[in-house]
Structures are given as structure tokens and as C-alpha cells.
Amino acid sequence: MNSLLQITSIVTNIEDPVVLENPNFLNTLYEHEFLQPQLLTNGCRLQEIYDLRLNVWEHSRKSDFVNRKLYPNGWYDHLDKSAFHWIVTSNQNKIIASARLNIFNSLEDFPYYLAVKDFLLPEIMPFAFFSRLVVHPHYRQNGLSRKLFMNRTSFCEERGISWSQVFINNPLIIQQFKKSGYKNVGQANVSYHPLADPHPVNVFVKEN
């Protein structure tokens, strides 16, 4: 069934005062009910993800290390090609949220190895690295960060990934990961671009 028809069927009376007083009611309902993450299968859409990351991060407190001067063609790095990407699309099929996951069979293969090698990390392999969570400002407060987290977590569990690692500074996202059992093992200084100064990140780890 078409998603718009599904939405309409949920509303028992289109003349309900809630609908009449709020012309955007159906759009809001769509956002809550049908904005679900999906694993990216079309690599041609990666550029949309890169552009979304840049557009959101350069207008945040993180603009010192993610901005159009450093990333004129969108924010991407070499991990994107080997990563699993989850996206959320609007009813216009535009990517409005995304997150990625990389699997490593050796800590030495991890690009931030030198920044975390002195922390107490599990030795068993492989491990997963959660990164590049981004949600368009107009679509926040819809639980998309949580949905993207759960999709990636389930993916790891289904494949027997031994443990997971994530860099976080956002207090709200930190609470989300803490509630799921992640522990802060220290603070590392990392740089996402060769021309950008290193900045501190909290390193969280969970054994699966």
C-alpha cells in the first residue's frame, strides 16, 4: 500500500479538529510513522550523504573541523567506500539522516589507532566503529538518532561482532550510548582532515 494511503487510513476522520487546525498534521504523522532507516544499496547516493553531513556540520559548533573550505565536495573520507551506510529518506525521497558503520579485523587497521592505542580496549576481533551520524535539523525530535543506532547495533549482533567503538561529544548522544551499556574509556585527540587541528573526542566502547 502506498505510504500516503497508509497515513490517511490511520486518520479516521479527515475533518477531525486536530487535522483542520494543523494543515501539516499528515506530514507530521508521516515523519513519526514512516521515517525508518534502510541500508544503502545504491552507491550513487553517497554524494547526497556527503553533502548532508557538510551542510549540517558546518552550521554547528563543529565547523572548525568540518567546513566547505576543508571539504568543498562534501564531507567524506576513505572509510566511506568500505562502510555500511544507513539512510532515512523523506516522502520526497531526499536523504534527511544517515549513519555509517565500519568493521575492522585488526586494531592496527583502524585509522585512529595511534589516538586510542593506550586505552584499555578488548583484544578479540572483529570490532565495529560507529560514526558519521547526521540528522537534518528539520527532522530532529523524531527519534532518528535512536533508530539509526538500533539498526547498526542489530547489524553487529547478527554478524557476531565482538565489540563496538564510537567517538562522541554530543551530551544527548552520549546518554543514548550509555543507556545501551557503552563505557567511556578516555578522551582522544583526532583530526578528520590533514589540514585541521586535532580536537578531543570521548571514546566509548561496548563488548557485545
Question: What is the DSSP code string of 83-109?
Answer: SEEEEEE-TT--EEEEEEEEEES-GGG
Angle among Cα 189, 192, 196 to the nearest 5 degrees reads 85
Which regions of the chain are under pLDDT 50? 1-20, 23, 25-26
Superfamily of domain 35-207 in CATH is: Gcn5-related N-acetyltransferase (GNAT) (3.40.630.30)
The number of beta carbons lying within 10 Å of the beta carbon of residue 117 is: 12
Q: Give pLDDT, residue 10.
A: 42
Q: Where are the domains of the chain?
A: 1-34, 35-207
**Which residues, 6+ apart, have CB-to-CB distance to 72 below 8 Å?**
none
pTM of the model: 0.84
Q: Give pLDDT, residue 208.
A: 85
What does the block give as the cell for 14? 479527515
| Distance, CA of 195 to CA of 57 (rounded, Å) | 17
The tally of CA atoms less than 13 A away on the side-chain side of residue 200 is 3
DSSP secondary structure code for residue 36 in this structure: -
| Distance, CA of 57 to CA of 51 (rounded, Å) | 10
DSSP secondary structure code for residue 198 in this structure: P
C-alpha dist (Å) from residue 141 to 20, 50, 62, 131:
23, 22, 20, 20
